[in-house]
Amino acid sequence: MKSKPKRKSGLDIVIIGCGINGLFSAYNLLKEGHSVTIIDRNREGLTSKNNAGLLQPSSLTSSPTMSPGRAFQAATVGWGAVYISPSQVARNMNWFMRAFGNMTGYEEKIRELGMLSLKLYLDFFEKEHINPDVQKGIAALYSNEEDGRKAAAAGKGRFIDEAEISQLGYMNLKGGAMFENEVSINPIKLYESLRSRVSEMGANLILGKEAKLKTSGRKVEYVDIGEKLKADKYLVTTGSWADQTLKPLGYKPNVMPARGMIMLFSTGMAKVVNAPALLEDTGIAIIQHNQNTLRITGFYEMVGHSPEFKESRKKWLLDNVKAHMKNFDKISFVRQSYGFRPCTSDQLPVIGKVPGYSDLFVAAGQCRLGMTLAAASGYAISEIIQGRKPSGVNADNFSPARFAL
């Protein structure tokens, strides 16, 4: 077990939310010698474990590509991987109107944060001797060859043709882009390894407790978990629940949940695909993590925090995988689960000081890229909490002030 760092600054920091963003925030603060307590009502990182596990900042377009027309279709009869509940639109009209006007224009800001995050991830794996089934090289695959060429040019990847796609274990796809320097990971292993490391570094983890921030004026007085916890600084990393955490305090970060599904399969110890891939036309990700584990993820559904998928949706997902994965008949189903992506209306995360407060901070809203952006988000917010400007990224792009009430 590694030794705990000596405290330097003497700050006591409470983090509400023990997902991947909260853990990376804690990791960076602990390295600086601060005292960190992490609180979460759940005992496991549901969304953090149940995502695609692609650290892919060079391919940042929506999968599948959205437009106002397609968004309208998704909110009426559904559209492939995307479904938007009409009741959610009615209850959150301002969010959707802003979201439909921000479907492009955010990419470069996210790309900058994503590239920093990838670098921080690789440094983290090397320094901490952690290997959550890291694989280099991710393929973005299309049914149309020209789409593959455009993706390769836009993301500075290498175009791959139908023959090479077949060698990777996929079929009925005409073109794609291979991003050689990007990586996939097993999110379950990453989450568990990072949480163990943070605990070893001295973090106090309080799990299975509901936390409520109590304020006096525009200052946090304490966190109520059935007892009072006081700190110098407070950080909210509650993901898709960030609005519920912060709205009672007079701030709404404009985060809504987008549900996704994960399905895990046994491969019978066979190598069924030779590279992780994102089927861009359907938004389905396929990754073989190790010798016997295959992960399939998909869907972007705005249905609130409902965990229930219809059987027809599961069938749609499996039918599409079967149509494009050559060795589909070699895999056997193990289990399925879900997660909620925290999405803002302008497609950008919210990272920084909560407006009007001197001791309250938030890091949320990474949406589809929660895992990709976690290392950089945790670094950026830890710097901001310490009164420093993060290097390598323009943190003003993600300022919570843009959603001030």
DSSP class per residue in 53-109: -EE-TT--S-SSPP-HHHHHHHTTT-BTTEEE-HHHHHHTHHHHHHHHT-SSS-HHH
Predicted pLDDT of residue 310: 87
Query: Which sequence spans correspond to the domains of the chain?
Result: 12-50+190-254+347-403, 54-100+133-183+256-344
pTM comes to 0.93
pLDDT band at 144 (very low <50, low <70, confident <90, very high): very high
Predicted pLDDT of residue 324: 98
Is the confidence at residue 1, as pLDDT, over 50?
no
Asked which of 109-113, 170-174, 312-316, 401-405 is least confident by mean pLDDT, the reply is: 401-405
Is the confidence at residue 6, as pLDDT, over 60?
no
Is the confidence at residue 63, as pLDDT, over 50?
no
Rounded Cα distance, 252 and 403, in Å: 7
**Phi, psi of 114, rounded to the nearest 5 degrees:** -65, -40
Report pLDDT digits (tens) over 188-222: 999 999 999 999 999 999 999 999 999 998 899 99
Report pLDDT digits (tens) over 216-235: 988 999 999 999 999 999 99
pLDDT band at 125 (very low <50, low <70, confident <90, very high): very high
Predicted pLDDT of residue 44: 83
CATH architecture of the domain formed by 54-100+133-183+256-344: 2-Layer Sandwich (3.30)
Cβ count within 10 A of residue 172 = 13
Rounded Cα distance, 64 and 53, in Å: 18
Instruction: Give the helix ranges, DSSP H, for 221-331.
Output: 242-246, 311-324
Average pLDDT in the 56-74 region?
56
Which residues have a Cβ under 8 Å from the Cβ of 235 and sit 6 or more positions away? 13, 14, 15, 16, 22, 25, 360, 361, 362, 363, 381, 385
Predicted pLDDT of residue 83: 84
% helix / strand / coil in the chain, to the nearest 5? Answer: 35, 30, 35
Average pLDDT in the 76-90 region?
75
CATH architecture of the domain formed by 12-50+190-254+347-403: 3-Layer(bba) Sandwich (3.50)
Average pLDDT in the 29-46 region?
93
Predicted pLDDT of residue 270: 96
Per the model's pLDDT, the better-predicted residue between 74 and 97 turns out to be 97
Q: How far from 51 is each of 60, 262, 357, 370, CA to CA, in Å?
A: 16, 7, 33, 9
Is the confidence at residue 59, as pLDDT, over 90?
no
For residues 95 and 164, is the Cβ–Cβ distance under 8 A?
no
Predicted pLDDT of residue 137: 96
Is the confidence at residue 291, as pLDDT, over 70?
yes
pLDDT band at 70 (very low <50, low <70, confident <90, very high): low
